[in-house]
């Protein structure tokens, strides 16, 4: 049984809020941290899990509500896991298009066989800011990096992420389908099991 009726998402990203609310359904109302504060905490962790916990605690402290944080990104094998935790800021905070352009440039001489990558999602749920036992759920979505963007849906690196089992890019998948396959969907499925949500 869900122990609360609402929680705050430690993100100002409207795309992420929409995706997570769709995955959680009507059981719980997901509110944006933007309702409470515009200040982003400094992500000083060295892993997705550390940053997710840091963001969740901050959101719980500011809102007084249970908080869910998602730290996610793209890990490219040929780049030793980069951009990794720096995925959103890969091109110095200039946005998705700049991040994608930088990634394509860095990988321009890398052959298809070595362009494997995975989207990573770490979810951290805290009941309150000092929660000694955060619930951590991780999801991985394996694919490879294309040589040019494809598709109009999604956000972030979706246009460059080839999904072998669907024979298309993540940005070519309808939202409903992406919400069943993605790294975030996999982490959320584990979280729902932990919380006893069907």
Active site residues: 71
b/e per residue, 26-40, with b = 16+ CB within 10 A? eebebbbbeeeeeee
Task: Assess whether the previous peptide bond of 83 is cis (omega < 30° from 0).
Answer: yes
Give the distance, in angstroms, between the CA of residue 105 and the centroid of all CA atoms in the same chain. 23
b/e per residue, 138-154, with b = 16+ CB within 10 A? bbebebbbbeebbbeeb
- The DSSP output letter for 85 is G
Cβ neighbours for 100, distance < 8 A, ≥ 6 positions apart: 149, 157, 159, 160
């Amino acid at each position: 049984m869900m122990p609360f009726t609402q929680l705050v998402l430690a993100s100002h990203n409207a795309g992420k809020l929409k995706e997570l609310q769709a995955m959680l359904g009507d059981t719980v109302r997901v509110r944006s941290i933007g309702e409470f504060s515009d200040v982003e905490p400094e992500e000083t962790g060295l892993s997705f899990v550390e940053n997710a916990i840091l963001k969740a605690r901050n959101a719980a402290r500011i809102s007084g509500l249970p908080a869910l944080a998602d730290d996610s990104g793209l890990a490219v094998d040929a780049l030793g896991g980069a951009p990794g935790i720096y995925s959103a800021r890969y091109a110095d905070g200039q946005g998705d298009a700049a991040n994608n352009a930088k990634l394509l440039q860095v990988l321009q001489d890398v052959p298809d066989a070595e362009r494997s990558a995975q989207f990573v999602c770490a979810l951290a749920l805290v009941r309150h800011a000092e929660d000694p036992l955060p619930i951590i759920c991780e999801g991985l979505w394996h694919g490879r990096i294309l040589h040019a963007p494809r598709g109009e849906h999604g956000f972030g690196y979706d246009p460059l992420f080839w999904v072998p089992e669907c024979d298309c890019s993540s940005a070519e998948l309808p939202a409903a389908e992406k919400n069943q396959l993605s790294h975030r969907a996999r982490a959320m499925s584990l979280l729902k099991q932990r919380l006893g949500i069907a």
